[in-house]
Structure 1
Amino acid sequence: MKLRWTSVAWSIAYLLLLLSLLTSLSIITIFFLIVPVVVLYSTLNLRQFIMHLVPIWLITMIVAIQLEGRLGIYVAVLGIFFMVPGIVMGRLYKKNASALRVIFTTGITTLVEMLLLLIFATVVYKFNLAVYVKDIVEFSVAPMRAMADINPDIADIFSPEFVRGLWNYTLQMIPFALIISSFTMVVITHAICRPILESMNYSVSKLRPAREWRLPRSLIWYYLLAVLLEYFVASNITGVLAAFVLNFMPLVHIAFTIQTIGFVFFMAHHRKWNSFLPFLLSLVVVLIPPLRIVGIIDLAFPLREYITRPKR
């Protein structure tokens, strides 16, 4: 009985999250959208899961269409699309897969879902991503251009060429934004679902301790190749290759930041520092991006082995 009422509560939470997509809160609530799906799929059998989800989807579609008309179908479709990564994560939890595999597999699934959703919006609703990005950029720059009209000294900064360049840059960075959004959603979901499921006596794998975080050493060579492309032949590359370099570099920088944080926790564990100190230093690493060079050195050289080597 307790489990049944818990499932009903999570079903209601999922319904509210779906309906929140009709409001301005959607920019926040979308990151929690697959949490109820994961909990329900992990705690119910397939028949029970379908019995909970079908009524939610029907109610969402009816309410959304009543409030938004034809556009309301998009919200209902969004619920179905993001049900898939929730099912993938729940299935991996049932298989007792490692946390890293859960995050990676579900992240890739979410990314594919976002791309399919973009295609759906383009085909069905004639959504034009380039025009949408241009409108967002112009809306964001409008207050600064108004200031430029008052202060001629900064008028050249916010010229039409600047706005066009910013629009083009933003459009090229869409893949990076989709990747970060996908994995952020999955990491948030795992961080919420793991303690919830464990409190319900379901076993869920944890991520390795931060002190054990280490990336593949081959990433260094990809990074060097990207640096060469960016600094030596950037003026000669265009199209897909230019977009690849533009999106790959910030992703690698994030990876090296994670490696640096792992090294900080490793040092804290090895030196037996106060448990609060590595969290504080990790925040410093995030706020001061050049510190990621520590992660590059840690990845390129056996730095941890040198530190732990017995002194003669």
Structure 2
Amino acid sequence: MQNNQSRKLAQGAMMIALFTVLMAIIFYVPLAGFIAMLIAPLPIIWYSATYDRKSSILVTFIAVIITFFIGGLIILPASLIFAAAGMAIGDAIYNKRSKVFMFISTSIVLLITFAIQYLISLRLFEFDFINDSLVLMRKSYEESLDLVEKMTGQAPISKETLAEMFSVVEMTIPASITLAVFVFAFIFISINLPIVKRFKVDVPKFSSFSHLRLPRAVLWYYLITLTINLFVQPELGTSLYVVMINVSLILWVLLTLQGISVIHFTIDTFGLPRMLKVLSTIVAIPLYSFVILLGIIDLGFNIREYIQAKKQK
């Protein structure tokens, strides 16, 4: 018992030190920082996957505090994000959860962590980094347009169009952040789980992307959103308009993924070259309307059964 406790403490100290080193690399070694950023949650993942939740929370908390002492407030937000992601992924492994559960729980934890940091930044420090980023981006665009106009004598887009574009960007911030969080969660899981597996940790597996099937409820949400947009027609700038445009954006992305999954399934079913998967995914971006329609049809009528029946014939 004493040996197990000593091992737990020693390994906890090692993971804290490793996490601190990775965070230091991210902020002080620019070229290696990107790679360190991708595997930064790894020490917390391994420890949380090996030991109970109480010990994992303690190690995660100490790791964040230590990074604060080496980098101050500037390093704290990133440290919290990576530590929270590591804790969520590791805890899901320890409790034998599915990879889908791990993905959703990690995304939610990251979203909550980001929201808390944003509120603290806004309330305590009166610093709105989202709004400031938009202002900086808009200023950069305006300067670029002015430069192009001076060089060619004609502006690519009008100031009114630019204002409308940034108005839409500002209103879709909630959906954009949500989608970005899901992407980060997927990246962390995809990169770190194979590494953790090498340390003899039993990790869950995702089914093939070609077998991705969203809940049918997504189709109903899309139909409700479409009905509101067509018949209620919320006015630009109203709360309902902001909600609808954010929900629509998320649903478009989900249905696009569903449509691409159907294309991949068809390629696998008929034994076509795998390179077609890459090409079809690239082509799906400009043809997203067709791909969304394909995703809707698959959710509503399960066209994969028809594809399989065609293959058997």
Superposition TM-score tier, normalisation by shorter sequence: 0.7 to 0.9
Q: Which amino acid aligns with 1:189?
A: F
- The equivalent of 2:49 in structure 1 is 42
Which range moves more in the overlay, 294-303 or 90-99? Answer: 294-303
What displacement does 1:164 show? 3.4
Gaps of 5+ in 2: 1-6
The normalised TM-score by structure 2 is 0.80
Q: How does 1:230-241 map to 2 (within 5 A)?
A: 230-231=229-230, 233-234=232-233, 236=235, 238-241=237-240
Residue-by-residue CA offset, 1:50-90 (whole Å, 9 max, x unaligned): 786566444422332xxxxxxx3242254235423321221
Distance 1:33 1:259, change over 3 A: same
Alpha carbons of 1:98 and 1:168: their partners in 2 closer, same or farther (altered >3 Å)? same
Query: Relative to 1, partners in 2 of residues 1:187 and 1:147: Cα closer, same or farther, differing over 3 Å?
Result: same
Query: How large is the Cα RMSD of the aligned pairs?
Result: 3.4
Aligned 8 A contact 1:22 1:75 in 2: no
> Does the 8 Å CA contact 1:38/1:86 hold for their aligned counterparts?
yes
Question: 1:94-109 to 2 correspondence within 5 Å?
Answer: 94-109=94-109
Q: Percent identity?
A: 19
- 8 Å Cα contact 2:234-2:240 kept in structure 1: no
Q: C-alpha distance in 2, partners of 1:241/1:63?
A: 45
Evaluate the alpha carbon distance shift between residue 240 and residue 33 of structure 1 in structure 2; reply closer, same or farther with a 3 A threshold: farther
Match of 1:68 in 2: none
Give the Cα separation in 1 of the matches to 2:278 and 2:10.
38
Aligned partner of residue 201 in structure 2, secondary structure: coil
Instruction: Quote the offset at 1:98 in angstroms.
Output: 0.8
**Cross-structure match for 1:127:** 127
Q: Which residue of 2 aligns with 1:200?
A: 199
Q: 1:182 Cα shift? A: 1.0
Q: Structure 1: where are the runs of 5+ without partners?
A: 65-71
Q: 2:182 maps to which residue?
A: 183
Looking at structure 1, the residues matched to 36 and 248 of structure 2 have their Cα atoms a distance apart, in angstroms, of 29
CA contact (8 A) 1:148 1:158 kept: no
Matched residues in 1 for 2:169 and 2:51: separation? 42
SS at match of 1:138: helix
Structure 2 match to 1:67: none
Q: Any conservation in 1 of the 2:52–2:94 contact (CA below 8 Å)? A: no
Paired residue for 2:68, among 35, 52, 61? 61
The alpha-carbon deviation at position 150 of structure 1 amounts to 4.5
> What is residue 93 of structure 1 aligned with on the other side?
93
- Residue 207 of structure 1 aligns to a residue in which SS? coil
CA distance in 2, matches of 1:23, 1:123: 32
* Deviation string, structure 1 residues 132-163 (Cα, Å, up to 9, x no partner): 422321123312222224444328x342x344
Aligned residue pairs, count: 303
- CA change 1:213–1:109 in 2 (3 A) is same
Distance in 2, matches of 1:273 and 1:266, equals 10
Structure 2 partner of 1:146: 147
Contact 1:82-1:113 within 8 A present in 2 as well:
no
Contact map agreement 2:68 2:76 (CA 8 A) in 1: yes
Alignment partners' CA distance in 1, 2:233 and 2:187: 36
The offset of 1:296, in angstroms, is: 2.1
After the TM superposition, which residues 249-268 of structure 1 pair with which residues of structure 2 at under 5 Å, given as runs?
Answer: 249-268=248-267
Displacement, 1:216?
2.0
- Is residue 31–residue 185 contact of structure 1 (8 Å, CA) maintained in 2? no
